[in-house]
Structure 1
Amino acid sequence: MKKYKLRKNAEFRVVYRKGKSFSNNLLVLYTYKNNRNDFNRFGVSVSKKVGKSVIRNRVRRLIKESYRLNFESFKKGYDLVVIARTTSKDRSYNEIETSLINLFKKAGLYNS
């Protein structure tokens, strides 16, 4: 649903400017506490450095799917932006998912 997504450039900029960042070798996670305690808003950014459009879209789909399948385990009330690093372009779904969960644990947003 639309209310669960970060869409506008301004929304992304607020998260980058005011939020905290956590990173590992595949992904970077920016978190910013919003005033909506019942859900998270989620955005994905994959730059052209990662590859051509087919590769970028594949990476984006893998990130979104790993978030979708695990979002019940994440704490609510945050705006989240995940940025793919260039090393993520030839990785499997399991590697992306493990990397995403690792970032949420680093950020203290993971309820096991």
Structure 2
Amino acid sequence: MRKEYRVKSEREFQDVFNSGKSMANKQFVIYTLTKPGQDHFRVGISVSKKMGNAVKRNKIKRLIRSSIQELSSSLKNDVDFIIIARQPTSTMNYQEVLSSLKHVLSLSHLFINKS
């Protein structure tokens, strides 16, 4: 995922946490902040040290990034969102992560309405 599609700085993370809305399922929490006029969505990923060592955390982040990349064409452009992985994701495979992310993203109304 290219740099312009990522929320990177602590300040940007805090803006989304403090001003955004949250939605969750058992595997993920998503904070969203609408940014009118933005050319494309931006995503930040957070995986706690409680999830495991660096290898395990990086694997979870790769699965999430890959899932977001697959869903990117159907996501709204004018939004920043943060994905926080919860404990069950440490044992999930790609298809389970993708399915769970689709669920929580639809709860957050981040998909483009194609009607």
TM range (shorter): over 0.9
Residue 110 of structure 2 aligns to a residue whose secondary structure is coil
2:72 is the counterpart of 1:71: yes
Give the deviation of 1:36 after TM superposition.
3.3
Q: Match for residue 106 of structure 1?
A: 107
Residue 49 of structure 2 aligns to a residue whose secondary structure is coil
Name structure 1 gaps, 5 residues minimum: none
2: distance between equivalents of 1:32 and 1:12? Answer: 10
Conservation of the 8 A alpha-carbon contact between 1:36 and 1:78? no
Conservation of the 8 A alpha-carbon contact between 1:39 and 1:77? yes
TM-score (norm: length of structure 2) = 0.92
Residue 42 of structure 1 aligns to a residue whose secondary structure is strand
User: CA-to-partner distance for each residue in 1:32-86, whole Å, 9 max, x for gaps?
Assistant: 0113342101110001011111110000000000000111111110001000001
* 1:1-112 pair list within 5 angstroms: 1-111=2-112
Q: Identity across aligned pairs (percent)?
A: 35
Once superposed, which parts of structure 1, at least 4 consecutive aligned residues long, lie more than 4 Å away? none
Residue 50 of structure 2 aligns to a residue whose secondary structure is coil
CA RMSD after TM alignment: 1.1
Name structure 2 gaps, 5 residues minimum: none
TM-score (norm: length of structure 1) = 0.94
Residue 44 of structure 1 aligns to a residue whose secondary structure is strand
